[in-house]
Structure 1
Amino acid sequence: MVMHVTVSIAIAGASGYAGGEVARLLLGHPDVTLGALTAHANAGQRVGAHLPHLRALADRTFDPTSAEVLAGHDVVVLALPHGASGALAAELEARGEDVLVLDCGADHRLVDPAAWRAFYGSEHAGTWTYGLPELLHAGEHVATAQRAELAAARRVAVPGCNVTAVTLGLAPGIAAGVVEPTDVVAVLANGYSGAGKAAKTHLLASEALGSAVPYAVGGTHRHIPEIQQNLRAAGAADVTISFTPTLVPMARGILATATARLAPGVDAAAVRQAWERAYDGEPFVHLLPDGQWPTTAATLGANTALVQVAVDAAAGRVVTVTAIDNLVKGTAGAAVQSMNLALGLPEHTGLPTEGVAP
């Protein structure tokens, strides 16, 4: 008889959008139990006051965020602001406990410390195993190497949400050599939850409704080096990307349109074959039938990424469009998916693939 083992999980930063979404997904996971739910300013307050949609947790109270509170769990998820998780992770490391830690922030994603300093302005906290199971490595047509790394990991850096959308859109073309990586352009429509839960004037409904607002324009967005890192992993010798995100009046979702020059001598059939081969059998990344385009509405609440690819023959460019829910496949779902691999559980456990519509 096989004994069923339940994994205990603590979430640091559980009152925010990312932490709350991790909690929502884990409430439907058959192999876990939720332990400590911590917060900073909201410590001591009822969970139901901040996450009223999570009725199963409504009467619980947020604990303060500290290594002492997080200790003793099998898994710790850090859903903290960028720059905050590095120190807390180091404290957990110093305790010497055998715990799986997943960082939903940016602190441990980048391999190059110089890139971290240039875009984040502080010292690099170190590099952890990258939590995008579908990330193609150079020479791969199907993602296997990244999954093997995650299966052996005890420290996982969850990707940035914009990064996930652009990477999934372009990596098959890079890995197959059908696009050139030195003239990549990505323009994204982003839901407001990606900007976090802090009260800021430009995030008020009176400012946002009926308006589309670009931000971090001109090569300043912090996700740029992470996208470059992923495309180099897929086989690009060098990556040049113009990246422009735009806030649009929706709560969730990313629609990423990313284009690259068609490699010389490549025809349109070979382009689509590269994406078909890369995502054939993937549980969460789906290449749509030819002519059907992704929408953010079709991914809401689900851990799916919907992808389409086309060739603009007149411009000599490949066009990809990718839709994800930024809080699920873009953050919390990626954390749970990576956690499943690291714990030896089926990768899809506890993760929805069906969206919510209308």
Structure 2
Amino acid sequence: MDKIKAGVVGATGYAGAELCRLIIGHPEAELSAISSVSFEGKALSEVYPAYFHMCDMICGTQEQVVEQSDVIFAALPHGLSQELAAECMRAGKVFIDLGADFRLESEDEYLEWYGGGFTDKALHNEAVYGLPELFREQIKGKRLIANPGCYTTAVPLAIAPALEAGFIQPEGIIADCKSGVTGAGRKPTQGNHYPELNEGFTAYKVASHRHTPEMEQTLSKIAGQRLKLTFVPHLLPINRGILATCYAKLTPGATLEKIREAYEKRYSGEFFLRLLPEGQAANVKNVRCTNFCDISLFADPHTGTFVAVSAIDNMVKGAAGQAIQNMNLAFGIDETAGLRLIPPAF
């Protein structure tokens, strides 16, 4: 079987560059073409010297990526993927969007949180939400996949089994999350300027982050009813990682032992989900540069509160790695292909 030809639009952003790194090491795919508006005509290794002699491919045009690829990954800001997706669908390609354009099912919510509309509603109806551990069967063989981001992966994976089994109340869920600075993208801002970031730790976009409706959409499907959650993100002075600490009230009769059994059953056979031993807390260091999601579970009998902690690498499981996982499902190959990466121990 010929290798899958994979192209990346927006290859010089952090998520795009990470996609290139992972595709180069993929046993059944090859990097076919890349594009970048900011660095057109330059080699990727000129932008990221770490790729010297590993990926010296020249950044071409978006049209070249579509023409030369079987699957197109779009690592673009929101609002820029809808026309490209339509072009890829007409050309019979697989399109995996790392942006937000196809994540929300409600156009009203997309308008409220992103300030835009659906340019082709029929196209949005074709899109599937690419969180494999929760929606795998819907993703297999599909051609238009909305790849979730970092918070929207870490939070649902942390609490889905407890919610699905009825061990936590759907009202009053709190997601208290911390992110490495790469989640803010490659373009510098005042907030990720080194003197501002170093030795600091701050909350941002409190109760107003645009990932909120996406998490609510996923969790509502799991719960079988509409729910809302309180989401507070924080910026950590590290490059990579998401730590999601989620709080929910236990339902009558729920115990940590029963909840743990539900997680073991729900996530049985999931290569990328690692349910940690009792008492051990998830740590972003232990998932760095991998597609793993580590989960630890706790219960506070004093307050009747369930606490689930998940850790992912925001650039891999929270972006590029999950996109590769979705590509594998779309093409019917081993879901873990190109992603069996071992975290560095220190």
Displacement of 1:56 in angstroms is 4.0
Q: Helix, strand or coil: the match of 1:180?
A: coil
In the alignment, which residue of structure 2 is the partner of 1:110?
104
C-alpha distance in 2 between matches for 1:134 and 1:257? 19
Displacement of 1:87 in angstroms is 2.1
Displacement of 1:222 in angstroms is 0.8
Aligned residues: 341
Matches within 5 A, 1:92-171: 92-93=88-89, 96-125=90-119, 126-127=124-125, 128-135=127-134, 146-171=135-160
Identity of aligned residues (%): 37
In the alignment, which residue of structure 2 is the partner of 1:235?
223
C-alpha distance in 2 between matches for 1:45 and 1:162? 32
Matches within 5 A, 1:76-95: 76-93=72-89
C-alpha distance in 1 between matches for 2:329 and 2:39? 32
In the alignment, which residue of structure 1 is the partner of 2:36?
39
- Stretches of structure 1 that go unaligned for 5 or more consecutive residues are 136-145
Displacement of 1:124 in angstroms is 2.7
- For the 8 Å contact 2:140–2:330, the answer to whether it is kept is yes
Correspondent of 1:346 among 302, 309, 334 = 334
- For the 8 Å contact 1:51–1:58, the answer to whether it is kept is no
Q: Deviations over 1:42-83 (max 9, x none)?
A: 11122112122223444321113x335422411100011111
- For the 8 Å contact 2:34–2:65, the answer to whether it is kept is no
When residues 60 and 92 of structure 1 are mapped into structure 2, their CA distance, relative to the original with a 3 A threshold, is same
When residues 60 and 5 of structure 1 are mapped into structure 2, their CA distance, relative to the original with a 3 A threshold, is closer
C-alpha distance in 2 between matches for 1:201 and 1:62? 28
Which residue identity does 1:15 align to in structure 2? T
- For the 8 Å contact 2:65–2:72, the answer to whether it is kept is no
Does residue 1:15 correspond to 2:12, yes or no? yes
Does residue 1:28 correspond to 2:22, yes or no? no
When residues 207 and 81 of structure 1 are mapped into structure 2, their CA distance, relative to the original with a 3 A threshold, is same
C-alpha distance in 1 between matches for 2:138 and 2:228? 27
C-alpha distance in 2 between matches for 1:182 and 1:236? 13
C-alpha distance in 2 between matches for 1:326 and 1:176? 27
C-alpha distance in 1 between matches for 2:149 and 2:55? 29
Moved more, 114-123 or 45-54: 45-54
CA RMSD of aligned residues (A): 1.3
Displacement of 1:260 in angstroms is 0.7
In the alignment, which residue of structure 1 is the partner of 2:247?
259
Q: Deviations over 1:176-219 (max 9, x none)?
A: 1111111100111100000000021221111100001211112x
Q: Deviations over 1:258-288 (max 9, x none)?
A: 0111012222321211112112221001110
When residues 257 and 31 of structure 1 are mapped into structure 2, their CA distance, relative to the original with a 3 A threshold, is same
Q: Helix, strand or coil: the match of 2:223?
A: coil
- Stretches of structure 2 that go unaligned for 5 or more consecutive residues are none
Correspondent of 1:212 among 178, 187, 201 = 201
C-alpha distance in 1 between matches for 2:173 and 2:266? 20
C-alpha distance in 2 between matches for 1:337 and 1:58? 21
Displacement of 1:153 in angstroms is 0.4
Does residue 1:74 correspond to 2:73, yes or no? no
Does residue 1:180 correspond to 2:169, yes or no? yes
TM-score normalized by the length of structure 1 = 0.92
Displacement of 1:123 in angstroms is 0.4
Does residue 1:296 correspond to 2:284, yes or no? yes
Q: Helix, strand or coil: the match of 1:201?
A: coil
Q: Helix, strand or coil: the match of 2:191?
A: helix
C-alpha distance in 2 between matches for 1:92 and 1:239? 34
In the alignment, which residue of structure 2 is the partner of 1:286?
274
Displacement of 1:356 in angstroms is 1.5
In the alignment, which residue of structure 1 is the partner of 2:48?
51
C-alpha distance in 2 between matches for 1:160 and 1:299? 16
- For the 8 Å contact 2:73–2:97, the answer to whether it is kept is yes
Which residue identity does 1:202 align to in structure 2? G
C-alpha distance in 1 between matches for 2:198 and 2:248? 32
Which residue identity does 1:246 align to in structure 2? H
